[in-house]
Amino acid sequence: MQLLTRDTPVGHTVTGRTKKVTSYRTWLFSGGWPRFDGWPAKNVHTDLAAAQQSGLPTRAASGAMCLGYLTELMVDLFGEAWLSDGELTSKFIGIVDAGDDVVSMARLTANDAAAGGGRITLDVWCENQDGTPVVVGTASGRIG
């Protein structure tokens, strides 16, 4: 994936890697340490009955999983320096369940770096296999 540059135009959209959300991944992420009796722990992320008792229609993969996908995209775009001076805000607006494909996306909304400094600002989101956004937010970073 190509890093952002000072010449990247506003409106430029980037697509990250598609991730397959599996039951096993959600269990590892939200089910506790996998070496105990009763693993994975029963909660809204790992167990359909627990999710439905909480009023959800299905299990909901942890939102932090999508944050990881967005963070991966930011590091791909800005380099590892983004980890120390990048910013990311997010809002979870949909449910991600096992079997879903999730892709992280970014659209450049401001390029203050083109004027010789400053930050690049992006609208960011994750969407499922149907193109439905499940996480939305903004991110920014500096071009080295």
The string of pLDDT tens digits covering residues 24-58 is: 888 777 777 667 777 788 888 888 898 899 988 88
Q: What is the pTM of this model?
A: 0.86
**Domains identified in the chain and CATH numbers:** 1-21+63-144 (3.10.129.10), 23-60 (no CATH)
Q: What does the pLDDT read at residue 135?
A: 97
- Find the distance separating the first CA and the last CA of the chain, reported in whole Å: 16
Confirm if 45 and 21 have CB atoms less than 8 A apart.
no
Instruction: Please give the residue that has the higher pLDDT: either 137 or 115.
Output: 137
